[in-house]
Amino acid sequence: MKKLLMAGLAVALATPTYAAQIWVNPAEGHGHVIHIKGTIEKGDANRFANAVGKAGVRPGDATVWLDSPGGLVIEGLPIARAVHKYGWNTYVGENIYCTSMCADIWLAGHSRFINSEAKLGFHSTGDKRGTVWVRNDVGNAAIFGFYRELGLSAKAARVLLAAEPGEDVIWLDSDLAKSLDIAAVTISADEEKSKEQPKVAALGDMPMATEKFTEAPKAAERPAEAPQVDKDNAGPPPVTAEDILPPKEETPREVARPRRAEPHNVERPYRRRYAGGYGGRVCGFSVPVPYIGGITIRGRC
């Protein structure tokens, strides 16, 4: 995961990016609606955790509304894992494009809802080098493992990661979802406008949380404090920011800076040890030279 972090993997398509807006609203009748709108960038996992924690969102009682072209894997995966862990639904609305990391968050939903006019797209993770996108095997391995955590088959995981980053997209339609055994509930535009709760008996007993508006409220209009929670209400306690964010690991100095492994030829097959000089710690490196055979260079380890 450290290599994944240092690489700063982006799985969004090569389109102009805008910082994500993340906010939480009470839903009509029950629970909350958690909004993620815009490109998922550095710090969004923290912003998601803090927004959920301040709103007092409970496990199994929220829907995540998605409107995003994707973004950083290192930020999106903690969000997706929280959605899966706490049993929240996911939803992509009418005429919304949800691609890349956004689509992976959608997959994490306890019950997955999608408007019939929405677009859901998947592709390989990648690094942008200049104007060219290249596949990133480390990122793909992380996403592949996450798909398996969700219960997707290896075939489904390979299909969803098949498209090249920045060049192609696997659009998930009903036929492809059925062939990959990906369950979802499709909502018509009329159902969304009427705010009727869709039937989800085949996926679970929690309906999709709905609300009266989808646009982000102005900063001054957002609630400063979490709503009061009825302590007598049965059910799990609200999720806190600390529940979502991975714990910070303190690495001892001797672990952070380990001594050289022995034997040396395991790490550097061309290195040989020589006795004498520099307190007996002299190393030689054999450098192959065409048509000559090799040159040995000696120096301190």
Return the pLDDT at 206: 60
Return the pLDDT at 168: 87
In this structure, what is the dihedral angle of CA atoms 88, 238, 65, 20, given to the nearest 10 degrees? -130
Return the pLDDT at 82: 96
Q: Which of 11, 175, 183 is nearest to 100 (CA)?
A: 11
Phi, psi for residue 45 in degrees, rounded to 5: -65, -40
**Would you state the structure tokens that stand for residue 198, as one six-digit string?**
């869709």
pTM: predicted TM-score of the whole model, two decimal places? 0.69
Helix/strand/coil percentages in the chain, nearest 5: 30, 25, 50
Tens-of-pLDDT digits for all 301 residues of the chain?
444 433 334 444 334 445 689 999 988 767 899 999 999 999 999 999 999 999 999 999 899 999 999 999 999 999 999 999 999 999 999 999 999 999 999 999 999 999 999 999 999 999 888 888 899 999 999 999 999 999 999 999 999 999 998 878 999 999 999 999 999 988 887 766 665 544 443 334 466 777 654 444 454 444 333 344 444 455 688 988 888 886 665 444 444 444 444 343 334 444 444 344 334 444 555 555 555 555 555 555 5
Domain range annotation of the chain: 2-218, 258-300
Q: What is the third-level CATH fold of 2-218?
A: 2-enoyl-CoA Hydratase; Chain A, domain 1 (3.90.226)
Return the pLDDT at 287: 53
Element (H, E) at 176: helix 174-179
